[in-house]
Chain A
Amino acid sequence: MIKVDNLSKVFIKKDGTNFYAVNKINFEAGDGEIVCLLGVNGAGKTTTMRVLSTIFQPSEGSAEIQGWDIRKHPDKVRENIGFLSGDTGLYNRLSCREFITYFGHLYSIEDQLIEQRIKVMADLLDMNEFLDKKIEFLSSGMKQKVSIVRSIIHDPPVMIFDEPTAGLDILTARNIVSFIRDCKQRGKCVLFSTHIMREAERLADRIVMIHKGKILADGTLEELRNISSQIDLDDIFVYYINQHTDEQELRANEF
């Protein structure tokens, strides 16, 4: 369960002025639900996810993960989330098993349980062949599978995927997509970000559109279609962006 409450993240620009990468956003994601954060590059998706996963401190507002406040209990939040992004790196000199075990230890999981989970996931993702190979010798598809297991080794109730398929080939991307579906089936709360409309369309139960740090729309595909009277998600997206720009201009004219 994710609850985002008036969350903002401000960066200070070089000339000393404030820049709102994320501007007072609100949304929720429930258990067993896939929520997609949809937006163009630079919309504030990664910043949002980094704040939610406690890499960044929020500037204003807050958020809760499984009831834990990200400001007050960052350690509890980290225990409850699995984080995966498309361009995550791995430690090349470790074997897959060592790599996953390393993260298992960082989550203070018993060796026995780690072994057990590796076994289950390796069977599921067809990884047994290369489990003891050094990561530097793996293909990008194999590496992504290792990253998947790494992200779920502590069996977190909330999964956060930051552009999980960015830069991956089709086959590897499919693995990720089916992994995301699998997470939903296990009752996990899933938040994933993308700028690819099709991915959002195919996967998401609910779509949260973000643009220039602000949320433009939040709803199921059907709801968004009804409001915008467009069918294609591309068109819906453009509709909301235009509306947002109009609003801004209107406000600018008022002053």
Chain B
Amino acid sequence: MNFKHTLVIFRKELMEVLRDKRTIFTTFILPIILYPLIIVGFNSVMMRQTKVLEERGATIAVQDSVDNEISHRLIQGLVRIKNYTFLPYNESTKQHYAEKDIQCIVTIRDSLGSEGTQFFKIYITYDKSKDQSRIVYEKLSKQLSKVEKELQQERLQISGLSPDFLNLVDIRERDTSSAQKKMGMFLGMFLPYIVIMMLFAGASIVAADLVAGEKERKTLETLLVSSVGRTEIVMGKYLTIITLAMLNMIVNLFSISFSLQFMLANQSKEMSGVTLPINAMLILLIAMIPLATLFAALLVSISTFSRNIKEARSYEQPLLMIAMLMGMVSFIPTIEISNLLAIVPVVNIALLFKAVLINEYTLSHILITIISTLVLDLIAILITVKLFKTESVLFRTEEESGGIKVLKKKPKYALTPYNGIVYFTIALILLYYLGGYWQTKDLYNGLIQTELIIIALPVFIVLKLLKLKPKEILRFKTPKPAGLILVPFIAISASIIVSIMSQLINTIFPYPEKYTEALTQLFNMNEAPWKVFLAIALLPGICEELLFRGFLIRFFEKYGLQWAVIISAILFAAFHLDPFRFVPVLLLGFLLGYLALRSGSVYTSMLSHIINNGLAFILVTYSNSSWVKFLVSEGDNIHYWLFIPALVVFVISLYAFHKVTAQGEEVCVE
């Protein structure tokens, strides 16, 4: 690679970008103006409004059912509140209250305590959903407490006791956190999210334009025939995006944090003059660079794949959504960065950001975050260079998305990735709403209905409509006996491996209790064991394999069989609508996809799926038998030592399966 050429491209791209007034405006000028305006302006308006509400008068009706000296004293206390008008309660009060002429009704009643002493019950009727009404309530109750205190003091004096007689406990707080740390905590809540979004926004300002834009304006050809290599072109564009993303992020970061500091200083004296330490800011900026490079690499690949800017922009959206969801982790109060979380892209930066702001981070977290992001970045940029060198991608012309029009013309070509995603989305919506409805009505029958009517039946209807042969498309083919015999070994060992992995995940992110309860409920349906087996092992094994390894996998085969397996597994995992089981189900999806494609028969993956689900069923249902106890420890966990033998069995049986299925199969993975 000629780095000089990369620099030439980088310089020229940057010059072009910086000459675009819109880019300059959105990247630099807007954030500088916007945040002070939003944060400081909003805050001062809010404070003013609160003040206005505080000072605003109110009309309160008072019903005194006791009418003695003390109740009079209470009412006198209330009347002292500034700007408030007090009216006696009468027949029209309720109507006035309904018409909002009266904001509050105070009712004083009395009652006898256990020792025969009189005490007062005061009811304050108000509308809690109204800001003003709430303020009135707070003022009234505060004032009443004050009067109560006075009355208590008087009583104590009459009894000849000191006014301090009742002061038994005095609670005082001693806060060890510094003002700086408090500010860090406050900023750490949402600053990471905003900064990650800004990094993405800055990157996407130019990304679509850089390759897809060159295609659209027909300048790409001239660049490709010049004596600069394709890797150098990609790197030049990539550097441009990184630079813009970082610039945008830095401008935003400083503008937001200054505005917020200003706002906080205005709100409390403690915060005035407090600033974030410069070294924290520097650490954050350095940690953000790998993320910027990762975003840049992903966005260049999108731009390379897209035929025009519009298309690139629409492909950027899903990526933005994923980044947004992952960045939102900073809003969750209890999650803190750990060595494991430091591997997860975006999430690691968000959490690291939070940790650095409150000054509780370790060097290892920073290093793991940076290195893991850089590794992903490296993979992404290698893929991008590969894409850029692939003619069919760089010069993609035909509309390949599919859609209804293609369906009508050529049903044979209906199995496009686009249509696959559409089909999956519809199935997912049906599962969520219809399946969810059925299962809340009756769990057992709901499960069976879901599998048969939502998952399996539509596959056959669609194939019928498209006039495609189910036997051929869904791979209804008798597998080789030798391969089939190996499936139980593969399935059981894989099941154990995956279960142990999810147990490990569970120790790091414990499942919520409710979730575990819901899972147990699934196994403890009041049905005969064979019926439970039918609903949670047999039917899911058959129906879900029909949908995922039979039907949906076909939509993605044009990307190559490996990708078909990977994409169908991702969809399979997403279909379970369960973030806690996403990774385990994904791994099973890889295995099931491999089994089906390698053997050319969906029956192999069905068998494996049934065994996997059946194993879970057996372990729970027969948890008291001695051989299950041998496998499972207290608390329903599989013994960790089983991992090693399971892994050995898995590797051997999978290898054997691979060998056995090798001959005479028209399709094979790898």
Residues of chain A whose beta carbon lies under 8 Å from any beta carbon of chain B = 11-12, 14-15, 50, 53-57, 75, 78-79, 81, 83, 85, 87-91, 93-94, 98, 102-103, 105-108, 147, 150, 154
Please tell me if the beta carbons of A102 and B12 are within 8 angstroms of each other in the complex.
yes
Complex CA–CA separation, A105 to B6 (angstroms): 11
Please tell me if the beta carbons of B16 and A78 are within 8 angstroms of each other in the complex.
no
Please tell me if the beta carbons of A14 and B398 are within 8 angstroms of each other in the complex.
yes
Please tell me if the beta carbons of A106 and B20 are within 8 angstroms of each other in the complex.
no
**Closest residue to A50 on the B side, CB-wise?**
B221
Q: Is B317 part of the contact surface with A, judged by Cβ < 8 Å? A: no
Residues of A within 8 A of B224 (CB): 53-55
Please tell me if the beta carbons of A81 and B413 are within 8 angstroms of each other in the complex.
no
Please tell me if the beta carbons of B413 and A94 are within 8 angstroms of each other in the complex.
no
Complex CA–CA separation, A234 to B214 (angstroms): 37
Instruction: Give min CB distance, B392 to chain A, whole Å.
Output: 8
Can you report 5 A-B residue pairs in the complex whose CB atoms are below 8 A from each other?
A14-B400, A56-B395, A89-B222, A94-B12, A108-B227
Contact of A87 among B9, B15, B218, B398 (CB under 8 A): B218
Please tell me if the beta carbons of A88 and B222 are within 8 angstroms of each other in the complex.
yes
Please tell me if the beta carbons of B225 and A54 are within 8 angstroms of each other in the complex.
yes
Please tell me if the beta carbons of A89 and B227 are within 8 angstroms of each other in the complex.
no
Please tell me if the beta carbons of B227 and A107 are within 8 angstroms of each other in the complex.
yes
Given A14-B400, A78-B226, A79-B227: A108 and B4 interface contact (C-beta under 8 Å):
yes
Residues of A within 8 A of B225 (CB): 53-55, 78, 81, 83
Q: Is B85 part of the contact surface with A, judged by Cβ < 8 Å? A: no
Complex CA–CA separation, A50 to B391 (angstroms): 11
Residues of A within 8 A of B576 (CB): none
Please tell me if the beta carbons of A93 and B19 are within 8 angstroms of each other in the complex.
yes
**Closest residue to B222 on the A side, CB-wise?**
A88
Complex CA–CA separation, A56 to B224 (angstroms): 10
Complex CA–CA separation, A56 to B494 (angstroms): 45
Q: Is B531 part of the contact surface with A, judged by Cβ < 8 Å? A: no
Residues of B within 8 A of A83 (CB): 221-222, 225
The A/B interface has a contact count, at CB < 8 Å, of: 75
Please tell me if the beta carbons of A89 and B219 are within 8 angstroms of each other in the complex.
yes
Given A14-B398, A14-B413, A105-B8: A94 and B16 interface contact (C-beta under 8 Å):
yes
In the complex, chain B residues 1-24 whose Cβ is within 8 Å of any chain A Cβ: 2, 4-5, 8-9, 12, 15-16, 19-20
Please tell me if the beta carbons of B226 and A106 are within 8 angstroms of each other in the complex.
yes
Residues of chain B whose beta carbon lies under 8 Å from any beta carbon of chain A = 2, 4-5, 8-9, 12, 15-16, 19-20, 214, 217-219, 221-229, 391-392, 395, 398, 400, 412-413
Please tell me if the beta carbons of B226 and A85 are within 8 angstroms of each other in the complex.
no
Residues of A within 8 A of B227 (CB): 75, 78-79, 106-108, 154
Residues of B within 8 A of A93 (CB): 15-16, 19-20
Instruction: Give min CB distance, B394 to chain A, whole Å.
Output: 9
Contact of B218 among A81, A88, A103 (CB under 8 A): A88
Residues of A within 8 A of B412 (CB): 15
Please tell me if the beta carbons of B228 and A106 are within 8 angstroms of each other in the complex.
yes
Residues of B within 8 A of A87 (CB): 218
Complex CA–CA separation, A150 to B227 (angstroms): 13
Instruction: Give min CB distance, B414 to chain A, whole Å.
Output: 12
Complex CA–CA separation, A106 to B413 (angstroms): 43
Residues of A within 8 A of B9 (CB): 106
Instruction: Give min CB distance, A190 to chain B, whole Å.
Output: 15
Instruction: Give min CB distance, B5 to chain A, whole Å.
Output: 6
**Closest residue to A151 on the B side, CB-wise?**
B222
Instruction: Give min CB distance, A83 to chain B, whole Å.
Output: 4
Residues of B within 8 A of A12 (CB): 392
Residues of B within 8 A of A85 (CB): 221
Residues of A within 8 A of B12 (CB): 91, 94, 98, 102
**Closest residue to A12 on the B side, CB-wise?**
B392
Please tell me if the beta carbons of B391 and A56 are within 8 angstroms of each other in the complex.
yes
Name the residue in A15, A56, A83, A106 with the highest tally of chain B Cβ atoms < 10 Å from its Cβ.
Answer: A106
Residues of A within 8 A of B20 (CB): 93
Q: Give the top 9 A-B pairs by smallest Cβ distance, nearest first.
A: A89-B218, A89-B217, A83-B225, A89-B219, A105-B8, A106-B226, A78-B227, A93-B19, A53-B225
Residues of B within 8 A of A50 (CB): 221
Residues of A within 8 A of B16 (CB): 91, 93-94
Residues of B within 8 A of A154 (CB): 227
